[in-house]
Every structure is written in C-alpha cells, then in structure tokens.
Amino acid sequence: MGHNCCALHGRATFCLGPIDGLPPVGLQAAPHSWLGIDQHGYLDVSVRLSSANEPRVQNWPLVAIAGRSCYPIGDFREARTTYEYEDAVARASNTAGARWAIYLGETYDDISAEILSNAFRWANSPLTEILRAKYEPSIYAQAAIHLFDFLNGNATSLASRSPEEAWATLSRMPGNAVNRVASRGGLR
C-alpha cells in the first residue's frame, strides 16, 4: 500500500435520474463516513440502499464504493466543495437514467494502527454492530487487504456473495491483517 489512509466524514447522496416518465429521486446519508486511500480511491461498504423508503432506490443493487467505482453498477462522483456536491446532485437529477453516488468529505481522521486494531471502539454504525457480534475487530483490516488485492488483480470480487458470506470469507483470511495493513500502509 504505502499510501496515507484516512476516514472521511461528510455526506453522500445516491441519486437516480428521471426514467420512463418517473421523476428523479435521491437518498442522502448524512452524516456518513468512508475510507480514503491516497492514489487508490475510496472504500465504503456501509451502503444500504435496500433500507430506503423509495422502491427505485431499493432496486439499485449498489453494495459498495471501491476505488472510484460503484459496485456492481453506478457512477461515483467525488465533490471537493459544497457547490460541487450540490451541482452534481442537480446534474444527476436531470440526467436520464443516472445512478450516481455523490460524496463530499468535510472532515477526516488519519487512520493509525491503534485505530485499526480497535476498530469496533472507533467505528459506530449499524454495520459495526452486526460485525461486532460475529467477528474480531481485524475484520476491517481484512476487508482493506482484500480491497487492495482486488484492485491490483490479486483477489476475486465478493460482490456475487451475500454480505454474510462475504464477511465470513474475509474473516478466514490467514495472517495478521492489522499488521499487514499497518506495514503496507505505513500506519503509525
């Protein structure tokens, strides 16, 4: 890895443009947090569009942001200012058939080896509660190693598996994932 890693905090809007006479619809997650890795992009595995009240949003099969892509489908947009964020939401709202995930990081925290090894104390989300009940805190480091390997063509996608199967697969990763991330990522 050898790149800076941080947790970004801000907001994300998942926007579907108009289609077949239906108006645009968007779902904003605020506050929202995700990981950023210099030169590699982002990781957000807490996207839960299936819990939206809007059926069109529920039917977008988005499960993650990895690198600078939506998986398995959609377009990722990174905004650097509030103006860029609002402009991207407006453009998606007027683009027929758009499926845009628009992210605006407003603050960040550098990731350290200590934060990674105590991830369940540091992270506070519905996903964390689910993972805490089944796995060791290293599950986040295992996910980071898998993502790095996937982006470099050394691991297969877990997108075809259910979330439970994907996390179980990651939990069986051999070795000390926290040490691997810390050494490869230059974490302090």
Residue numbers of the domain that contains 158: 111-185
Which residues, including other chains, have CB under 8 Å from residue 130's CB and lie 6 or more apart?
A: none
Of 58, 84, 109, the position where a domain reaches its end is 109
Of 109, 135, 151, the position where a domain reaches its end is 109
**Domain match, 15 and 105 both:** yes
pLDDT at 2 over 60: no
Q: How many domains does the chain fold into?
A: 2
Q: Which pLDDT band holds residue 124 (cuts at 50, 70, 90)?
A: low
Q: Which amino acid is at 90?
A: A
175 φ/ψ angles, rounded to the nearest 5 degrees: 85, 175
**Domain match, 135 and 93 both:** no
Q: Which pLDDT band holds residue 1 (cuts at 50, 70, 90)?
A: very low
Segment 127-150 shows an average pLDDT of 87
Question: How many CB atoms lie under 10 A from the CB of residue 141?
Answer: 25
- pLDDT tens digit sequence for 95-107: 999 999 999 999 9
Q: For the chain, first and last CA: distance in Å?
A: 14
168 SS3 class? helix
- pLDDT tens digit sequence for 5-21: 788 999 999 999 999 99
Of 63, 89, 109, the position where a domain reaches its end is 109
**Domain match, 125 and 84 both:** no
Read off the pTM.
0.75
- CA–CA distance, 11 with 29 (Å, rounded to integer): 6
